Structure 1
Amino acid sequence: MTADLIEGLELRTAAPTDPTLLALATAQQAELAALYGDDQPQVALHPDITFILLLLDGTPVGCVGLQPISPGLGEIKRMYVEPSARGWGLSRILLEAVETQARRTGLTRLRLETGPQQHEALALYTNHGYTPTPPYPPFEHESASLCFAKDL
């Protein structure tokens, strides 16, 4: 599914300090706390992360971040779609957008961390070619962390 097939859909970049982005990231963290409890690792938004906001008819409904880690390697951060906007393929649009952005910036591999209770996320990533990898810092000792990677 491509972004131009959904009327009123807009993708735009945002800084980690953008209030709209922060509201979505806060909602995502609250959802994760409800799934896993408050003992999950809280990872701050790194200033190098570039975010893509997904708006539907002007309303922000999703986001995804891309953080460069090392030459050729990037990490997907804070992938999130509001519950009311789920089931329309918007997460696939966000994933395609972040992969395109990664390629444009010269990244050749993406990694990400998710959790075992996020069944839709696990299906999304595995259906798009992400394969399990050993946990990386700061997730290497977290039982609720599953890590994946994909060569672009």
Structure 2
Amino acid sequence: MTAELIEGTELRSVPGTDPAVLALTTAQQAELAAMYGEDQPLVALHPDIAFTLLLLDGTPVGCVGLQPVSPGLGEIKRMYVDPSARGWGLSRVLLKAVETQARATGLTRLRLETGTHQTEAIALYTNHGYTPTPPYPPFDTEPASLCYAKDL
């Protein structure tokens, strides 16, 4: 997997059962619950999600998942950078990594869901060519959900 790395970072392909991924996604869900309360859609992780773990000086600080949806279509899942490691461009590293992975597996389009209060995430995605799309299930009835997609 190739992506422009920041000094001290390492990307690793890991399963969704990896303890570092579980810790990061649990922290993400707690952060979202604090942000959205009852409005947060709770979606279980699909077993087909391939995760990329981002380490900074050997410490897991971020992750992103890629879930195949249908031929040519994939979905970005659980992209997260620990608050202690934000502001250094690590989310861009993760986004480039998941796009590279998607292309390598034959996907031609990526979609994702984020929340209305996640202004940094919205800016990241729109600055990298993701455009708003109609919400898709299970987010089509969630008022706090925004959906985006990008042709690769």
Contact 2:39 2:144 in 1 (8 A): no
Report the alpha carbon displacement of residue 28 of structure 1 after superposing the two structures with TM: 0.3
1:2-151 superposed matches below 5 A: 2-3=4-5, 6-151=6-151
Shift of 1:30: 0.4
Residues of 2 paired with 1:141 and 1:43: CA distance? 13
TM-score by length of 2: 0.97
For these two proteins, the number of residue pairs brought into alignment is 150
Q: State the TM-score, normalizing by the size of structure 1.
A: 0.97
1:39 to partner: Cα distance = 3.9
Q: Does the aligned pair in 1 maintain the 2:39–2:142 contact within 8 Å?
A: no
| C-alpha contact (below 8 Å) 2:113/2:148 kept by paired residues | yes
User: Which runs of 5 or more structure 2 residues have no equivalent in the other structure?
Assistant: none
Q: CA deviation at 1:2?
A: 1.8
- Runs of 4+ in structure 1 off by over 4 angstroms are none
Identity %: 81
CA deviation profile, 1:80-121 (whole Å, cap 9, x unmatched): 000010000000000000000000000000000001100000
Cα deviation, residue 41, structure 1: 1.4
Superposition deviation, residue 40 in structure 1: 1.6
- Aligned amino acid, residue 100 of structure 2: T
Shift of 1:140: 0.3
Unaligned runs of 5+ in 1: none
Partners of 1:113 and 1:24 in 2: CA distance: 18
